[in-house]
Structure 1
Amino acid sequence: MERERFFEDYEIGEARRTLARTITETDIVFHAGHSGDYFPHHMDAEFCKTQPFGERIAHGTMTFAIGIGLTATEINPRAFTYGYERLRFPRPVRAGDTIRSTVTIGRKADDPKRPAFGQVVEIVETTNQRDETVMYCEHILLAERRSPEDVS
């Protein structure tokens, strides 16, 4: 869905929750093939029985890609991604887990390099079916200002 929003239109504290998605064994295997990450924590069931998690776990990069992908429900032609910060995976994701993301506008600031834009920081928290956080990050958007000439 396209939703045109300028920097001034973002409200700190506003939030939206995504649809959910169940992670499958196939997701984990395909991600290993796409990324080249065949680390035994993701691919070796026998090895994993000897580890604290007790079973294979999803790649952090896959959790990030899917958790962020779930948030891609709004297209804003006035903003674009500048990057991500503070990426964490406090709990593992396993095949069979169902995850969803909540996006909350955490803060706004001037962009020091681009006076016609402001930075909007979206706090992205991805949770599993038990409402446990499995991924946290801060998504930085550069959003066009409605009136860049008013910026000092």
Structure 2
Amino acid sequence: MTAIHLDDIKPGDRTRSSCVTVTEAHIVWFAGLTGDFNPLHMDAEAAKANGFGRTIAHGMLTHSLSTGLRSAIDDWAILAFLETRRRFVGPVFAGDTVHYEAEVAEVRPSASKPDRGIVRVAITVKNQRGETVQEGEDVLSIARKEAQA
């Protein structure tokens, strides 16, 4: 596979990832891994009392899964993942299937490193009903073509 370089990426380029279904096992595993045993994720009664009706997945779990779904852009000549930002705008429940939609917002050469540039990507994570559950931005360092020649 030929890598896609900075020179090939344009503002407005869009992509959509494959999907992943969030399971109870994901939620329990993530709680154990991170130590985040907040009752909203682990206690159905606490989640009901807070208006969700049932336990919800961790926002950072969904963020992590969406980063893994980033495979739609893994053929880019990514040198570094520089920054990420997310807003958690809707709950994700066990059984929800999520995917990642990305749109290139900005492409620019690096001011200090001529062999690379910066790409800002607007991110939306949606569930199986098309509801936005997360939105934000990723910033990547991408190699320029001449740097790979």
Q: TM-score, normalised by structure 2?
A: 0.89
Post-superposition, which runs of at least 4 consecutive aligned residues in structure 1 deviate over 4 A? none
Cα deviation for residue 18 of structure 1 reads 1.2
Deviations 1:17-37 (A, max 9, x none): 111111111110111011110
Q: 1:20 is matched with which residue?
A: 19
Q: Equivalents in 1 of 2:64, 2:85: separation in Å?
A: 15
**Aligned partner of residue 128 in structure 2, secondary structure:** coil
User: For the Cα contact (< 8 Å) 2:5–2:76, is it kept in 1?
Assistant: no
User: For the Cα contact (< 8 Å) 1:6–1:144, is it kept in 2?
Assistant: yes
Deviations 1:81-121 (A, max 9, x none): 33234311110101111101112111112323322211011
Report the structure, 1 or 2, having the larger helix content: 2
User: For the Cα contact (< 8 Å) 2:11–2:106, is it kept in 1?
Assistant: yes
Q: 1:88 is matched with which residue?
A: 87
User: For the Cα contact (< 8 Å) 2:7–2:145, is it kept in 1?
Assistant: yes
Q: 1:122 is matched with which residue?
A: 121
Q: 1:72 is matched with which residue?
A: 71
* Residue type at the aligned position of 1:71: R
Q: 1:111 is matched with which residue?
A: 110
Q: Equivalents in 1 of 2:43, 2:23: separation in Å?
A: 16
Map 1:39-78 onto structure 2 (within 5 A). Answer: 39-76=38-75, 78=77
Q: Equivalents in 2 of 1:126, 1:77: separation in Å?
A: 20
Larger deviation: 33-42 or 2-11?
2-11
Larger deviation: 78-87 or 47-56?
78-87
User: For the Cα contact (< 8 Å) 1:105–1:122, is it kept in 2?
Assistant: yes
Q: Equivalents in 2 of 1:136, 1:119: separation in Å?
A: 20
* Residue type at the aligned position of 1:75: D
Cα deviation for residue 52 of structure 1 reads 2.0
RMSD: 1.8
Q: Equivalents in 2 of 1:139, 1:70: separation in Å?
A: 13
Q: TM-score, normalised by structure 1?
A: 0.87
